[in-house]
A and B are shown apart, each in its own frame.
With several copies, the nearest count.
Chain A
């Protein structure tokens, strides 16, 4: 009886109650056809903290005041919070003080809203053909236009946080990537020479003679797509030039020093540090980049495997659309692959995270010490030119520290790599202090 009941359920689990098109943004409508996924999606409003993560939007600057020093002079020094569920992405952006203390561009919305229709609309207004066959052209053109707009103007064009349509093809329900920032970057990345063993479709494209452009939506495997849809947003980025074009800096590769060397080539800076006068960089959520350095990526384990694990609902199996910390559902997220108890798996994560955290604090101390030394040197009246080499070291150190700190897994996505980066942070920061010290005799 039980079995036959479940078999019946299974047969009729998809009623296409409503028609869904590429213009259907509202998740409520999708939810009519896929109520189970919608239920999960809605639960991203939940708030529950874990030791180093979770979904309570506590203020990171209060937790650890070093960051006010490190971010001094930048909007992040005013308001910087723990991230929470997808449901909040648009309202959290609206509410952050960062938006109030500095003018922000429309580019921000690329990752905080279901923005594609807005891109198309803007492009059509600007003269691109409204015909469906020009869809991709509309998106790419509209992307450029909206990036450059003032935040509020662009904000008025969108109404939803990330929605079904951002990850799914409306017709086939297959995963697909829509975000221009990612589409451009993954093509650039494919062209680089450095090996990407965790991205087999790129390796294949390279081996097959690099014909045409690498096209993620037709070439990537399903398993890769289960990470690429997240890589649309969970990446390091910057706004390029006056047009504020959103760019992911993967032109030389995904590693922290490869990205740095890309930024250095164009002398890019995010801001001038207020205390030290150094042109510094800010890292933002490089989850995709760090995951790429870890053993899970190399083993073919995708973001969705851990953050949207399969779960049983009656007679069928679905992806848990309650995207969140896997430590809140270790049973489905980890135990299918790892045959250890939940307590043991949690302990393993915490050993990794605690090590990272301790190193991170050590690295923060070093960077803050350097900033303070630079401050004293300036008060002493030492000129900017003389401080150049120490400032360069601050830039290097701070970039590395932030790369680990801004990444949201507290080292879990790539434990040894995170520790390596922090080791370099410490080395550069302390060397910077030595450079400042060397100048002391001059002042006496």
Chain B
């Protein structure tokens, strides 16, 4: 199973990034109410005003009533879930502190795969005939170009 190698990774990254993460951004974490990052509460994400646009969009989008940020953006299995939160938490804190990220914010390719998988978590059966293969570069049917607005409403 994949979770074995994942576990190794978890261990390594937990140690390394935890160190850097704590050293670098304890303050950010504290001040931006970082603890809430680990919850499922969407408000946790808007603690960074940089997420404001996505938050506002989410409130008006079709999934507002049925899915929160984490349902779409964070893996649903336990270990990858907290691993992802940690990794993303690290990058987001770093980005927020140093203001060195590209704007407008763009989802990272890996997180986009996670997102796809989460679409299938809920809609897997519905789209079973059009098999989606998230993460398989050649065979993947990408949901996002057609359904970009489901999470945050139209951008155009």
Q: Do chains A and B touch in the complex (CB under 8 A)?
A: yes
> Which partner residue on chain A sits nearest B99 by CB separation?
A2
Option from B97, B127, B140, B154 in Cβ contact (under 8 Å) with A222: B140
How many residues in B have their beta carbons less than 8 Å from beta carbons of A? 33
Nearest chain B residue, comparing its CB with the CB of A224 = B138
Residue in A305, A310, A315, A339 whose CB lies within 8 Å of B154? A339
B119 CB, nearest partner CB in chain A, Å: 12
Is A337's CB under 8 angstroms from B142's CB?
no
Q: Does B126 contact A (CB under 8 A)?
A: yes
Q: Smallest CB–CB gap between A398 and chain B, Å?
A: 37
Q: Which residues of A contact B96 (CB under 8 A)?
A: 2-3
**Residues of chain A contacted by B110 (CB below 8 angstroms):** none
Which residue in B27, B125, B133, B147 is a CB contact (below 8 Å) of A315?
B125
Interface of B is mostly: loop
The answer, yes or no, to whether A240 is at the interface (CB within 8 Å) is no
The reply to whether B126 and A332 contact each other, CB–CB distance below 8 Å, is no
Inter-chain contacts of B99 with A (CB < 8 A): 2
Say whether B102 faces chain A, with CB atoms less than 8 Å apart.
yes
Nearest-Cβ distance from residue A264 to partner chain B, whole angstroms: 38
Cβ proximity bits A264-279 to B, threshold 8 Å, 1 near / 0 not: 0000000000000000
Q: Say yes or no: is B84 at the interface (Cβ < 8 Å to chain A).
A: no
Q: How many residue pairs between the two chains, A and B, have CB atoms under 8 Å in the bound complex?
A: 82
What's the dominant secondary structure at chain A's contact region? mixed
Which B-chain residue is minimally distant from A222 (CB atoms)? B139
| Residue in B closest to A9 when the chains form the complex, CB atoms | B125
> Which residues on B sit within 8 Å (CB–CB) of A301?
145
B104–A331 touching, CB < 8 Å: yes
Q: Is B78 an interface residue (CB 8 A)?
A: no
Residue contact A13 to B128, C-beta cutoff 8 Å: yes
Q: Bound complex: CA of A51 vs CA of B126, how far in Å?
A: 35
Tell me if B149 and A339 are in contact (CB < 8 A).
yes
* Partner of B146 from A4, A316, A331, A337 at Cβ < 8 Å: A337
A326: CB under 8 A from chain B?
Answer: no
Q: Find chain B residues with CB under 8 A from A336 CB.
A: 104, 146-147, 155
Interface size on A, residues (CB 8 A): 34
- Asked whether B31 lies within 8 Å of A10 as measured between CB atoms, the reply is no
Q: Are B49 and A222 interface neighbours, CB within 8 A? A: no
Query: Nearest chain B CB to A327's CB is how many angstroms away?
Result: 17
A221 at the A/B interface (Cβ < 8 Å)? yes
For chain A, residues 329 to 387, give those with C-beta under 8 angstroms from any C-beta of chain B. 331-332, 335-337, 339
A222, B145: Cβ atoms under 8 Å?
Answer: no
Which residues 296-335 of A sit at the B interface, judged by CB distance below 8 A?
299-301, 305, 310, 312, 315-319, 331-332, 335
Shortest distance from the beta carbon of B94 to any chain A beta carbon, whole Å? 12
Interface residues of B in 108-156 (CB under 8 A from A): 125-130, 133, 137-142, 145-149, 154-156
Report yes or no: B126 in contact with A315, Cβ–Cβ below 8 A. Answer: yes
User: Which residue of B has the minimal Cβ distance to A341?
Assistant: B106
A10 nearest CB neighbor, chain B only: B125
Residues of A within 8 A of B155 (CB): 336-337, 339
* Nearest chain A residue, comparing its CB with the CB of B97: A2
B125 touches A11 (CB 8 A): yes
Q: Judge whether B14 is part of the interface by a CB distance below 8 angstroms.
A: no
Q: Which residues of the partner chain A approach B103 to less than 8 Å between Cβ atoms? A: 312, 331-332
Chain A residues with CB under 8 Å of chain B are 1-4, 6-7, 10-11, 13-14, 174, 201, 219-223, 299-301, 305, 310, 312, 315-319, 331-332, 335-337, 339
Apart from A10-B125, A221-B138, A317-B126: 14 A-B pairs, beta carbons within 8 A: A2-B28, A2-B99, A3-B27, A3-B96, A222-B141, A301-B145, A312-B103, A316-B127, A319-B130, A332-B104, A335-B104, A337-B155, A339-B148, A339-B155
A–B complex contacts, Cβ < 8 Å, 9 sampled: A3-B31, A13-B129, A299-B145, A312-B103, A317-B130, A336-B155, A337-B146, A339-B149, A339-B156
Which B residues are within 8 Å of any A CB, using their own CB?
Answer: 27-28, 31-32, 49, 96-97, 99, 102-104, 106, 125-130, 133, 137-142, 145-149, 154-156
